[in-house]
Chains A and B, each alone.
Chain A
Amino acid sequence: MGGLTILTERRGQICSGETRKGEIQCERQSLAGAVSQRACVFCGSRVVLYPIADAVHLVHGPAGCAAYTWDIRGSLSSGPELHRSSFSTDLREQDVIHGGEPRLYRALVELIREHRPAAAFVYSTCIVGIIGDDVEAVCRQVAEEQGLPVIAVKSEGFRGTKKDGYAAACDAISTLIGRREVLGDNARTLNVLGEFNLAGESWIIRRYFEEMGLRVQAVMTGDGRVGDIEGAHCARLNVLQCSGSMAPLARQMRERWGIPFIRVSFFGLEDVATSLRSAAGVFADPEVTARTEALIRRESARVEPALDRYKALLTGKRAAIYVGGAFKAISLVKALRRIGIETVVAGSQTGSREEYVELRQACGAQTVLIDDANPLELAKFAVECGADLLVGGVKERPLAYKLGIAFCDHNHERKKPLAGFEGMLNFAKEVHASIASPVWQFLRRPTEPRGTDGD
């Protein structure tokens, strides 16, 4: 779609055509007016902490910020579901003028009395940063009076990008760690970081590790419990998925508690197997290794024949990927290749330079890479590169359908688990169901924008 032009300031963040070989610019503030798909600092903090199910999550700000993140992620809990409620101080004009601290205090006390949570998180929004409420002082006071951790999350929306919100969330979690000792033998204990239990994925991963003879102390934060996180320092290893969101915490835990971490991904057979093996490798225990190999053998054998069938049906199709973190995009490229699909466009909201280098290696030289894309860029490259499938999140879904392109949600709104061996099979099923849908024969794929030549 030549009729769609790319903003000059955005060109460095896109590797296409002649600039395909070049280095991509990333980790920049979003360009005003570009219609970035990113949210803000507050969003970053909120999505990372929200799956902690036995804590009160109080948004200190106007009702909107709370409403837009209300039960946003579909993170499942095996017990309490306090995280699924939307609590806010619902600041009004008078609070903005006179200060929101008294209301925050009363709101916290009320919620703690009502729900008896294991901890409370208080999220600062833009307005709180501007009027200068001392949120930490209120949290300290309530913590002392009520006898539970009350943690201020410094997530004012304008303080940076979504990634800075992840860091603020990591700081908040960090204040919990080390408050409780886990008795007994912790020699084979690990934590899983950056796993949010969408559609119950944490349970699949937990089951794998348990079968390998390892104990999962805390999943951060999927199906999370404050008590588990408080004892997370007793683990011997951190496995870090979704590196964008939790890398700061993994590094903090390495420095403070001497816990090493490895980067893993549970998407796609290849990456699941590699991740389980490298986790097992750290424990250097022949029994763990043997159990791990048996698990990989059994689970692979269970799904490989079905994947081969999907591959036969999907070979030659092309995909565009746009997800939050670039590390996930790398796994997706490999997972799609397993079922015969080549990736022609790959992008992320918050990828780092190293991740883009790795993504380029995974994709090959021809793929268009985009950092912090907007809908027009996604549409342009998806159409120009002849994508048959878009893998993204809720904001990308209708765009794909309007363009006559199949879609797979690999974000908050997935309903079936896509992690692990069985998750790969679900992924293949979902991709095939959308691509093979008979509806596409009734649509004409637009090639140019309305009102331009060639329309």
Chain B
Amino acid sequence: MGTEGINARDVARNPCKLCSPLGACLALRGVRDSMAVIHGSQGCATYIRRYLIGHFREPVDIASSSFSDRTAIFGGAAALGTALDNVVRQYRPRMVGVTTSCLSETIGDDVSLILREHAAERSGEDSPGLVHVSTPSYRGTHVDGFHAAVTAVVDAYARGGERGRGVAVFPGMVSPADTRHLKEILDDCGVAHAILPDYSESLDGGAWQSFERIPGGGTSLEDVAGMGPR
């Protein structure tokens, strides 16, 4: 080969892996009435949208804090605030998942703090819950991002429910068809269940009866709240 001293690990050739924010956005699509914002360059959101849209053949809207060079230098708090406000105005979500990118992680934005301050300033009835998912693209793959988002949603919402009332199911990264099948099996067995995430409708839906700002379906926040022991 003539590659003495060269480690094959230095080049990734046609790897079948994607970056962690994509996995997080996929998982968030399975939470009812939620939107994802990627805190980074406009391209992160658009590329991940393009990839998910091309794969699932469903509309997937993901917002971006749309970094400029100034944002990269002075910090992304203001840009993220604007992004959150605009997402709420346009989509009226009940929850917004904010996933980070290589850029925002490396410049050291304290996203949890920014979200807490933003929520404090906008504490109205219409304000959605804000969930931070840490997904620097240089750590792990889309699978890690997926689980990070699931964990973050559970951390933020699960308050616990009565014992013996049902099962919480975390199927991992499976197809909408598999999720649907799993639900059918659980229903047939008469097991009350909450599956997180559930994108069996949002990423495999039929024709629209009315315009869907956020596609229907997904795990409701109430179901997530009931997960775990009280």
Q: A residues bordering B, Cβ < 8 Å?
A: 1, 3-5, 7, 9, 29-43, 58, 61-70, 85-93, 95-96, 103, 106-107, 109-111, 113-114, 125-127, 129-131, 157-161, 374-376, 379, 383, 394-395, 397-399, 402-404, 413, 442-444, 446-451, 455
Contact = CB atoms under 8 A, between A and B. Distances in A.
Contacts of A85: 13-14
B171 interface: no
Given A32-B80, A399-B59, A88 B12 contact: yes
B50 A394 contact: yes
A376 B213 contact: yes
B54 A450 contact: no
Contact of B17 (A33, A39, A63, A157): A63
Interface in B21-66: 21-22, 37, 40-51, 53-54, 57-59, 61-66
Given A40-B41, A43-B43, A130-B103, A5 B10 contact: no
Interface string B129-161: 000000011110100000000000000000000
A406 B85 CA distance: 33
Nearest to A400: B59
A232 B204 CA distance: 49
Contact of A32 (B7, B83, B89): B83
B72 interface: yes
Contacts, number: 258
Nearest to A442: B207
Given A113-B2, A404-B207, A450-B211, A96 B46 contact: no
B21 A70 contact: no
Contacts of B123: none
A149 to B, nearest CB: 19
B61 A375 contact: yes
Given A7-B89, A450-B213, A130 B3 contact: no
Given A63-B137, A158-B72, 10 more contacts: A32-B65, A34-B63, A34-B66, A35-B64, A66-B15, A126-B40, A157-B40, A157-B44, A157-B103, A404-B207
Nearest to B215: A402
B120 interface: no
B17 A110 contact: no
B15 A86 contact: yes
Interface in B63-112: 63-69, 71-72, 79-80, 82-87, 89-90, 92, 101-103, 106-107
Contacts of B213: 4, 376, 449-450
B11 interface: yes
B214 to A, nearest CB: 9
11 contacts: A7-B86, A32-B80, A33-B64, A89-B10, A157-B41, A376-B61, A398-B53, A398-B57, A402-B212, A449-B212, A450-B212
A446 B63 contact: no
A109 B59 contact: no
Q: Counting chain B CB atoms within 10 Å of each CB, which of A32, A35, A89, A447 scores highest?
A: A32
A31 B210 contact: no
Nearest to A161: B42
A5 B90 contact: yes
Most buried by A among B1, B22, B41: B41
A40 B49 CA distance: 13
A64 B211 contact: no
A36 B66 contact: yes
Contacts of A90: 11-12, 15
A214 B2 CA distance: 44
Contacts of A442: 207
Contact of B46 (A39, A93, A403, A413): A39
B14 A70 contact: yes
A1 B210 CA distance: 10
Nearest to B96: A33
A110 B11 contact: yes
A126 B64 contact: no
Contacts of A110: 3, 6, 8, 10-11
Contacts of B65: 32-33
Contact of B79 (A32, A131, A398, A446): A32
A92 B139 CA distance: 6
A451 B214 CA distance: 11
A111 B6 CA distance: 10
Contacts of A64: 18-22, 44, 47, 137
A403 B216 CA distance: 15
B2 to A, nearest CB: 6
A210 B57 CA distance: 40
A65 B51 CA distance: 11
B71 A63 contact: no
Contact of B59 (A42, A58, A375): A375
A322 B47 CA distance: 17
B7 A106 contact: yes
A130 B79 CA distance: 18
A400 to B, nearest CB: 10
B42 A38 contact: yes
Contacts of A9: 86
A31 B57 contact: no
